[in-house]
Amino acid sequence: MTGTKARRFFVLAATAAALAAGCGGSLRENQTVEGVASYERGKEAFDRKDYTDAIADLKAYVEQYPGTDNTDDALYFLGQSYFQIKDYVLASGQFDRLLRDFPASSRQPDALYQLARCDDVQSHPAPLDQAETLRAISRYKQFLDIYPENPNAPEAIKRLDALNDRLAQKKYLNGRLYVRLKQYDAATFYLSATIAEYPGSRWAGQSALLLAGIYSRRGEYAEAATLLRQVPETSAPSETKREAREQLREIEKHELRP
């Protein structure tokens, strides 16, 4: 087996072993992978989308030459290579090292954006834990605060909106669960938080509808009516808005009774 083929074989075998462990698997940093300590060679492999060879060569380069003019670029493309093979843990490690060790690098904006993306793509649907979602939101906000004119800023804003919507949904689902369990104090806590923190979202409208129902059960009709009047101002589904109007009419009839 030639040197190049052998090196490719070892890298592919290592990658396959990590992926076989599942999407959350990660190539170990201390794994022995043969590569040439050449930034140019690693970048050429990256450009032709040969990420396994790119990882081997770029990793060898940053280990052997940790302080050259090309080390920050090598770290960036090493992170991007890991990202492309869906090893987001190791991708984050390279971007984080670049941000920490090379504060003057022109790669800083892209590294911070990619670090946020690593958390973003690892985040879970609303019913599950939202730790990655919260980290992604924090990093996108940091990116936008520092680099508001960066070409990636519009996409970062878009992703922020999507992730915040997921957090709103999480709170709404918690509130709805407690309504079903008839634990109305806990339900009130989550539904009120959804309305206060995400006032224009569809989840705020649906939360207001559920919370109005709780108030109505308690005989607090004025508070229920106030909530129901807020629903049309949200982006709640039309069915939710229709139900809010119907409930409001019933409350207004109740208030008119002698």
- How many structural domains comprise the chain? 2
25: confidence class by pLDDT, cuts 50, 70, 90: very low
Tokens at 82, concatenated: 């890991």
Domain endpoint, select from 98, 129, 153: 98
**What pLDDT score was predicted for residue 8?**
45
Q: What is the CATH number of the domain that holds 184?
A: 1.25.40.10
pLDDT tens digits for range 170-190: 999 999 999 999 999 999 999
Q: Does residue 194 lie within any of the structural domains? A: yes
Q: Does residue 201 lie within any of the structural domains? A: yes
Q: Does residue 8 lie within any of the structural domains? A: yes
Task: Check whether 50 has a pLDDT greater than 50.
Answer: yes
Q: Does residue 23 lie within any of the structural domains? A: yes
- The rounded mean pLDDT for the chain is 89
Q: Could you tell me the residue range of the domain that residue 238 belongs to?
A: 171-256
User: What sign does the CA torsion over 92, 162, 168, 113 have?
Assistant: positive
Task: Check whether 14 has a pLDDT greater than 70.
Answer: no
pLDDT tens digits for range 142-167: 999 999 999 999 999 999 999 999 99
113: confidence class by pLDDT, cuts 50, 70, 90: very high
**Average of per-residue pLDDT across 1-6:** 44
Measured distance CA(117)–CA(93) in Å, rounded = 13
**What pLDDT score was predicted for residue 245?**
94
**What pLDDT score was predicted for residue 216?**
94
**What pLDDT score was predicted for residue 99?**
98
Residues 91 and 9 in one domain: yes
Task: Check whether 28 has a pLDDT greater than 70.
Answer: no
Selected residue with higher pLDDT from 41 and 3: 41
Pair 162, 203: CB distance under 8 Å: no
Domain endpoint, select from 48, 71, 98: 98
Q: Does residue 51 lie within any of the structural domains? A: yes
Task: Check whether 5 has a pLDDT greater than 60.
Answer: no
Q: What is the CATH number of the domain that holds 80?
A: 1.25.40
Q: Which amino acid is at 168?
A: A
Pair 30, 91: CB distance under 8 Å: no
pLDDT > 70 in the chain, percent: 85
Task: Check whether 31 has a pLDDT greater than 70.
Answer: no
**What pLDDT score was predicted for residue 33?**
53
Q: Does residue 148 lie within any of the structural domains? A: no
* CB contact burial 122-156 (16+ within 10 A = b; e otherwise): bbeebeeebebbebbbebbeebbeebeebebbeeb
Q: Does residue 164 lie within any of the structural domains? A: no
| Cα dist from 124 to 34, 36, 51, 156, 167, whole Å | 35, 37, 26, 18, 11
Measured distance CA(173)–CA(185) in Å, rounded = 15
Q: Does residue 154 lie within any of the structural domains? A: no
Q: In sequence order, what DSSP letters do the residues of 161-178 get, joined into one string? A: HHHHHHHHHHHHHHHHHH
Domain endpoint, select from 98, 131, 149: 98
**What pLDDT score was predicted for residue 54?**
98
Tokens at 139, concatenated: 């990093």
